[in-house]
Amino acid sequence: MNIKKLGRLVTPYVVWLSILVMIPLVMMVILSFFETRGLDFTNATFTLSNWFRDLRDPSVLKALENSFTFAGITVAVVFLIGYPMAFILARSSFANKMVILMLTIIPMWSNSLLRNNALRNLFSEQSFVNDLLSKINLSFVLDIKGTPSAIIAGLVLTFLPFMILPVYTVLEKMDKSLIEASMDLGASPIRTFFKVTFPLSLKGVATGVIMVFLPSFSGFAVPYILGDGKFILVGTIIENSYNYNINFVSTLSILLVIIIFLMIFFVSKVDKEGESFL
Amino acid sequence: MGKKLIELKGITKRYDDEPVVDSIDLYINENEFITLLGPSGCGKTTTLRMIGGFEKPDEGQIILNGVVVNDIPPYERPINTVFQRYALFPHLNVFENIAFGLRNQKIAKEEIVSRVEAALKLVSLPNFAQRKVALLSGGQQQRIAIARAIVNRPKILLLDEPLAALDLKLRQNMQYELKEMQRKLGITFIYVTHDQEEALTMSDTIVVMNKGKIQQIGTPTGIYNEPKNRFVANFIGETNIIQGYYVHQNLVSFMGVEFECVDTHFADGEKVDVVIRPEDLDIIEPEGAKLAGIVSSSVFKGVHFELCVIINEKEFVVHTYENRPVGAKVGLKVDAYEIHLMKVEQSEY
């Protein structure tokens, strides 16, 4: 392959990346160290208060704590549901694995606002399910709207495919002779799972954890709709402050980027060939 | 040779109603090096996998030390396997790979360490304990895979074409090492290969298989010198097969000429297949030779020349140390004890 040719092919991507990713990021970093009126720099003054005063505001700290908690619980629940699903799917001899995989993905294709508003309805006393059931004198009440459980349920339903897909891919690609080798060497199926299958699937788990944690940590639509707006999260603060304090919003956003990078760095360190987990 | 260790009785395995192993009967002695030899798809690997417990036979019994083991899972059989592509655990280092089987048996730490070290020494890779398996060469991975299996001191070691991925020189060295190892350890080796040279070099007993059936069981020399049928004759080394008939005691006729032979067990006038190995044909002067023809090709093979001699439109392959030019007229001579006769089969291959 001619490197020069390849180099030229890369150019549009580099331009694209700099315009749409790097420049906005740099802008946010700059904004976070100033006090401006919107994007108008005419009376801008340099300040560190965004970083060292506003971030320490109790409401911001509470929001960070909430975001971490919700995202953490979501990751745990998604893992507990998603891993077994991916495992069963990868091991099964269904002819139509793809169909089943599609069934988990298809909900992602519907608009998430619509989906979460439907959930919100389902989680209230006057849900459409209850409505229908009451016609035949049954009742189904799952009145958890506005509670943490509703938010977790919404996040789990939204991000479950992000755990299933990478774990499934890793399990499916795994060399089956490794499983046989383990059994051959006297390990029972359960021991084989914990000694071979699971350690070797950690790459997929790590990908899944990042892909579920990040959007649940920074997102705001799901908690806002299902939590009745009762919980402040990092996402909600950004949303609320966007119109009057773009400097603080930039600071929070940069903080999120830093947290995200730290997580990816940490996971990739820990996951090096999956062996350090043992 | 020791006593009977494992026995297969009427073993049949079908995939989609298609028998891949077809009512096989076989017994294997203690301390034996036995090779299942055959072309790909002949059922040899499936047979091995049934002995290892990875497949269940549809019919028949696998009897290990007098106990039927059909339903015993692989992790409870005193059998270990060296897999074709080694199947080393990529998340464990060399030491942990070899110790894997021992850890499953709840063996004391000190003993694990000493046994792993002994196993590494046996495969001539001491000091490799802390290496990562991904960084080992093919030959080294091969040795680790063998160490990982034998460290458990199995009664039987199954080897599924373990040398297939190695280059020629390494493969030849490993053949001798494996044979030596088997002698030292006194473990029964069941070896699967499609490489006839490998089988001849290492085995005490060779089982030639084709289309799910056993064609012949015998010692390497027995199988090479006295193939039972055309398939075995063709599969084990190059060979010339000529149709002929048995004239009477110690006399066989083929190519319109009568030859003395040593095989008996045939009726007078019975049709037979005559097998002559290329190295058993000698080039002589065409005058007065029983077989005379024209050299149609000559290929240098290193140690010998491979000549193709056409006699009455029938090709003979001859291995000789002295080259003859293409187009030359030559005579062929064969000694009585080098003519092997086979019964003609109903179904020709």
pLDDT band at A275 (very low <50, low <70, confident <90, very high): very low
Q: Is the pLDDT of residue A164 over 90?
A: yes
Distance from CA of A268 to the nearest CA of B (A): 15
| A173 close contact with B: CB closer than 8 A | no
Q: What is the three-class DSSP state of A47?
A: coil
Chain B residues closer than 8 Å to A191 by CB: 104
Strand partners, B159: B82, B191
**According to the model, what pLDDT value does residue B108 have?**
92
Closest CA to B283 of B245, B249, B315, B328: B328
Q: Please tell me which residue, B178 or A94, carries the higher pLDDT value.
A: B178
**According to the model, what pLDDT value does residue B2 have?**
64
Structural domains of chain B ordered from first start:
4-231 (3.40.50.300), 240-343 (2.40.50.140)
CB A202 within 8 A of CB A79: no
Query: Amino acid identity, residue B94?
Result: V
Lowest mean pLDDT among A85-89, A143-147, B7-11, B135-139: A143-147
- Tally of CB atoms within 10 A around A108: 14
**According to the model, what pLDDT value does residue B113 have?**
94
**According to the model, what pLDDT value does residue A59 have?**
86
Write the pLDDT tens digit of every residue in A200-249: 998 899 889 988 998 898 888 888 888 887 888 888 888 888 888 888 88
Domain membership flag for residue A134? yes
Q: What is the three-class DSSP state of A113?
A: helix
Residue owning tokens 């495969």: B123
ipTM above 0.90 for this complex: no
CB B84 within 8 A of CB B77: no
Q: Which of A175, A180, A185 to mutate to test the interface with B (most CBs of B within 10 A)?
A: A185
**According to the model, what pLDDT value does residue A5 have?**
64
- C-alpha distances (whole Å) from B121 to each of A175, A274, B6, B135 are 28, 28, 29, 19
Domain membership flag for residue A215? yes
Two tokens, residue B4: 């009977």
Chain A residues closer than 8 Å to B92 by CB: 275, 278
Chain B residues closer than 8 Å to A178 by CB: 87, 89
Distance from CA of B52 to the nearest CA of A (A): 7
Mean pLDDT of A33-60: 80
Domain membership flag for residue A130? yes
Measure the CA angle with vertex A236, ends A56 and A229; round to 5°.
120
| A262 close contact with B: CB closer than 8 A | no
Chain B residues closer than 8 Å to A185 by CB: 75, 80, 100-101, 104, 148-149, 152
**According to the model, what pLDDT value does residue B211 have?**
92
Mean pLDDT of A269-277: 51
Q: CB within 8 A of A94, min separation 6: which ones? A: A100
What Rg do the C-alpha atoms of chain B give, in angstroms?
Answer: 24
**According to the model, what pLDDT value does residue B346 have?**
60
Instruction: Give dist(CA B77, CA B62) in Å, integer.
Output: 12
**According to the model, what pLDDT value does residue A140 have?**
72
With CB atoms and an 8 Å threshold, state whether A181 touches B87.
yes
Q: Distance between terminal CA atoms of chain B?
A: 35
Mean pLDDT of A173-178: 92
With CB atoms and an 8 Å threshold, state whether B87 touches A199.
no
The list of chain B residues with pLDDT below 50 reads 348-349
| A273 close contact with B: CB closer than 8 A | yes
Sign of the CA dihedral B116, B121, B123, B125?
positive
Q: What is the three-class DSSP state of B251?
A: strand
Domain membership flag for residue A77? yes
Domain, as residue range, for A85: 15-277
By a Cβ cutoff of 8 Å, what residues of chain B touch chain A?
52-54, 73-76, 79-81, 83-85, 87-93, 100-101, 104-105, 132, 134, 148-149, 152
| A181 close contact with B: CB closer than 8 A | yes
**According to the model, what pLDDT value does residue A199 have?**
92
**According to the model, what pLDDT value does residue A277 have?**
38
**According to the model, what pLDDT value does residue A36 have?**
80
- Tally of CB atoms within 10 A around A58: 7
Query: Searching chain B, which residue's CA lies closest to the CA of residue A195?
Result: B100
Q: Is the pLDDT of residue A1 over 50?
A: no
Give the phi and the psi of residue B292 in degrees, each rounded to 5.
Answer: -140, 140
Distance from CA of A273 to the nearest CA of B (A): 6
Give the phi and the psi of residue B22 in degrees, each rounded to 5.
Answer: -120, 100
- Residue A175 belongs to domain with CATH number: 1.10.3720.10
With CB atoms and an 8 Å threshold, state whether A273 touches B90.
yes
Q: CB within 8 A of A143, min separation 6: which ones? A: A123, A124, A125
Instruction: Give dist(CA B62, CA B280) in Å, integer.
Output: 41
Strand B156-160 to strand B79-82: parallel, antiparallel, or no bridges (unpaired)? parallel
Instruction: Give dist(CA A97, CA A104) in Å, integer.
Output: 11
**According to the model, what pLDDT value does residue A274 have?**
45
Domain membership flag for residue A232? yes
Chain A residues closer than 8 Å to B89 by CB: 178, 181-182, 196, 200
- C-alpha distances (whole Å) from A80 to each of A106, A193, A205, B207 are 21, 15, 11, 50
Instruction: Give dist(CA B226, CA B206) in Å, integer.
Output: 13
**According to the model, what pLDDT value does residue A4 have?**
59
Mean pLDDT of A110-124: 85
Domain membership flag for residue A267? yes
Chain B residues closer than 8 Å to A183 by CB: 53-54, 73-75
Instruction: Give dist(CA B117, CA B126) in Å, integer.
Output: 7
DSSP secondary structure, B302-333, as one string: SSSEEEEEEETTEEEEEEESS---TT-EEEEE
Quote helix, strand, coil % in chain B, to nearest 5. 25, 35, 35
For chain A, the domain total comes to: 1
